[in-house]
């Protein structure tokens, strides 16, 4: 029987020998490869933390001693060790296992973090709570990727943690990468430490001194914590001449490391020391993303940070790929940069996922990766604009939330020409609540002077992006969803104000109920399905016209004019219902004293659980069939009232 099959909780680990723990690591690594290749998910990061997570659960007592992952896409091994291995066939699927820590799944999951750089702040607050409630002896452990340490919140948290004597253990999981390779001065310091660790491994003198130290301590009867404390001091003495010692201690915190992250013995020694240390400390663990799986290790782009369904033997995707929104934007950005020397690009540690990698390769001097620091990215973009350039800031939609103050006060207040390209806008699905990009319209629409475009297809993405970078009077946003871009949807006519008519009756019947369906972005296709069904179902009684405003914020006065000639206006969007396009259009109609009834098809104000995009749209009534039924009900109500 495998060791893994006999585990149901972290307590079961403590009965295992070190040799058993190493066997368990091999079993878990193979388990991850087989399961994640079948469902998709964050494979590379979790292969890199197998030994690290085993050692944490072996030494510390979860859930009484919380282990918080930042970000928790690296929590798969934690889930396996806390009794959820049998659920991995449902990973990231509807009603299945979340791809992040989830409080409803287990008492061992204290947070639901999937935005980086927050774990140390959680740990700071929890350790304060423990101190006030008589549990101050318990450790709080934050596992922080080196990429997350490029975010400002980590350093704000460390500034507070270091001032106290609370038992916070900050484990730096240093694999040299966030999504892409980690950048910046801090990353360079870690790289120096990693290099010196590699040098120490091949220095015979180091090995001889350590072996002699172990024998001497054993002969003296020193065991456990005293052994590690003495050996650690000895190790520090050996490497003092070659390792920089000022970086972490200057924070006022004890520093242990660097530790080989795939050596269970070294990890257990380090964590035993940390568990018995009074006060905050940092354990620097060097790991390899994708460790033990050649296709991940050899994947130069992102070491299989996140995959779809793959062949476990080769790592090659099973599903045939099609042109997606990101690649269309990537090509347009390159084309724009060839024509304009003032176009520069900024990303927050996600050059590949946001389509900026080709730009970075061709125009390295005009590309800036600032690390996981959206706030800095946006204000730095403001500085670039003040210097006469036109910055393009490419982010996942959900991460714009983190930089709202900078968008509002550092960019918009000065009417600076910065273009924000928001990938994964609207419903994304399997990554769960915090990665769905349903807030961007509501968040950005309240910014004075901002202009927001929502392209419906690849041609409109090209068109609207190029229009955006021509605007010099303030910030612009171009948003698009996750996935394949789909077919072109041609307009019947372009009206004044750039509004596209996608479908309308050939002849207007004054006796028929006139419905104006305002489709936002990629919802143009289901909107056309709704219109066709209702026009066919109620010939001569209902006439549905579908329009795409293209630029949805601010609301065009020409769109308001169209609403005045309708009997019912319906907005159809994948942003939250409060503060989106429907809300803005309603306010504009009210200001123009247009009293046509307006109804909204939009995302409810909820945090949705993970499922596929199509499942989630159907669940909240935004798929074409559900939308048709809803609009049919509104039409029936108006008929009864009329």
| Residue 374 is labelled as binding a ligand | yes
| Residue 206 is labelled as binding a ligand | no
| Residue 114 is labelled as binding a ligand | yes
Distances (CA, A) of 529 to 12, 32, 244, 494: 55, 41, 64, 20
Q: Determine contact, residues 85/115, Cβ cutoff 8 Å.
A: no
| Residue 116 is labelled as binding a ligand | yes
DSSP state of 90: G
The neighbouring-strand residues paired with 254 are 281
DSSP assignments along 554-580, one per residue: SPPHHHHHHHHT-SEEEEEEEEESTTS
Give the 3-state secondary structure of residue 112: coil
Cβ atoms within 10 A of the Cβ of 470, count?
Answer: 13
Distances (CA, A) of 514 to 364, 410, 508, 569: 53, 44, 9, 9
The neighbouring-strand residues paired with 423 are 396
Cβ atoms within 10 A of the Cβ of 423, count?
Answer: 25
| Residue 115 is labelled as binding a ligand | yes
Cβ atoms within 10 A of the Cβ of 511, count?
Answer: 7
Give the 3-state secondary structure of residue 221: coil
Residue 625, C-beta contacts closer than 8 angstroms, at least 6 positions apart: 618
Q: Determine contact, residues 70/118, Cβ cutoff 8 Å.
A: yes
Start-to-end CA span in the chain (Å):
73
Residues belonging to the active site:
289, 374, 402
Q: Among the residues of 254-372, which ranges form H helices?
A: 264-276, 294-297, 325-339, 357-362
Q: Which of 575, 552, 566 is nearest to 500 (CA)?
A: 552
The neighbouring-strand residues paired with 286 are 174, 260
SS (H, E, C) 419-486: EEEEECCECCCCCCHHHCECCHHHHHHCCCCCEEECCCCHHHHHHHHHHHCCCCCCCEEEECCCCECC
Distances (CA, A) of 570 to 255, 502, 626: 59, 15, 14
Distances (CA, A) of 426 to 76, 437, 455, 580, 602: 26, 4, 13, 11, 10
Sign of the CA dihedral with 340 first, then 343, 344, and 350 last: negative
Sign of the CA dihedral with 76 first, then 82, 87, and 90 last: negative
Q: Which of 73, 18, 36 is nearest to 312 (CA)?
A: 36
Which residues are known binding-site members for thiamine diphosphate? Answer: 73, 114-116, 147-148, 175, 293, 374
Which residues are known binding-site members? Answer: 73, 114-116, 146-148, 175, 293, 374
Which residues are known binding-site members for Mg(2+)? Answer: 146, 175
């Amino acid at each position: 029987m495998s060791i893994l099959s006999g585990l149901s909780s972290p307590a079961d680990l403590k009965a295992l020998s070190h040799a058993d723990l190493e066997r368990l690591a091999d079993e878990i690594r193979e388990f991850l490869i087989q399961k994640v290749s079948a469902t998709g998910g964050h494979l590379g990061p979790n292969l890199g933390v197998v030994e690290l997570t085993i050692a944490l659960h072996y030494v510390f007592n979860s859930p009484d001693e919380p282990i918080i992952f930042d970000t928790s896409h690296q929590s798969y091994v934690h889930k396996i060790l806390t009794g959820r291995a049998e659920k991995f066939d449902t990973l990231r699927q509807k009603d299945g296992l979340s791809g992040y820590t989830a409080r409803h799944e287990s008492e061992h999951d204290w947070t639901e973090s999937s935005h980086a750089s927050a774990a140390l702040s959680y740990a700071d607050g929890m350790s304060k709570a423990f101190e006030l409630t008589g549990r101050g002896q318990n450790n709080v452990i934050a596992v922080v990727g080196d990429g997350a340490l490029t975010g400002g919140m980590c350093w704000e948290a460390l500034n507070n943690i270091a001032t106290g004597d609370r038992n916070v253990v900050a484990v730096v999981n240093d694999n040299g990468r966030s999504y892409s390779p980690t950048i910046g001065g801090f990353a360079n310091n870690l790289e120096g430490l990693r290099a010196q660790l590699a040098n120490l491994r091949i220095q015979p003198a180091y090995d001889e001194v350590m072996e002699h130290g172990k024998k001497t301590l054993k002969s003296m009867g020193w065991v456990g914590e005293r052994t590690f404390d003495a050996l650690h001091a000895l190790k520090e003495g050996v490497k003092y001449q070659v390792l920089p010692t000022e970086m972490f201690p200057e924070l006022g915190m004890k520093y242990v490391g660097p530790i080989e992250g795939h050596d269970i013995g070294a990890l257990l020694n380090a964590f035993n020391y940390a568990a018995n240390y009074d006060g905050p400390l940092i354990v620097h663990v060097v790991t390899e993303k994708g460790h033990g799986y050649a296709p991940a290790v050899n994947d130069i782009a992102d070491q299989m940070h996140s995959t779809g369904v793959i062949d476990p033997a080769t790592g090659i995707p099973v599903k045939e790929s099609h042109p997606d929104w990101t690649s269309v934007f990537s090509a347009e950005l390159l084309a724009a940069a060839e024509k304009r020397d003032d176009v520069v690009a900024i990303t927050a540690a996600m050059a590949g996922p946001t389509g900026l990698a080709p730009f970075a390769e061709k125009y390295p001097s005009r590309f800036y990766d600032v690390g996981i620091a959206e706030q800095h990215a946006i204000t730095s973009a403001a500085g670039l604009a003040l210097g006469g350039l036109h910055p393009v800031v490419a982010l996942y939609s959900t991460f714009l939330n983190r930089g709202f103050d900078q968008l509002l006060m550092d960019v918009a207040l000065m009417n600076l020409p910065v273009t924000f390209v928001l990938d994964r806008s609207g419903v994304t699905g399997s990554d769960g609540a915090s990665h769905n990009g349903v807030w961007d319209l509501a968040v950005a629409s309240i910014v004075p002077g901002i202009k927001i475009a929502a392209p419906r297809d690849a041609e409109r993405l090209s068109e609207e992006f190029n229009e955006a970078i021509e605007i010099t009077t303030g910030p612009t946003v171009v948003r698009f969803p996750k996935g394949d871009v789909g077919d072109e949807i041609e307009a019947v006519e372009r009206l004044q104000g750039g509004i596209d008519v996608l479908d309308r009756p050939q002849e207007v019947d004054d006796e028929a109920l006139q419905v104006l369906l305002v489709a936002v972005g990629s919802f143009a296709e289901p909107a056309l399905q709704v219109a066709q069904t209702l026009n066919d179902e109620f010939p001569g009684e209902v006439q549905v016209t579908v329009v795409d405003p293209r630029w949805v914020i601010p609301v065009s006065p020409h769109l308001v004019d169209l609403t005045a000639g309708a009997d019912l206006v319906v907005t159809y969007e994948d942003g939250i219902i409060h503060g989106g396009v429907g809300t803005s259009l309603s306010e504009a109609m009210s200001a123009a004293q247009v009293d046509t009834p307006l109804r909204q098809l939009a995302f409810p104000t909820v945090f949705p659980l993970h499922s596929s995009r199509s499942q989630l749209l159907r669940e909240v009534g935004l798929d074409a069939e559900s939308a048709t039924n809803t609009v049919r009900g509104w039409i029936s109500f108006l008929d009864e009232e009329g």
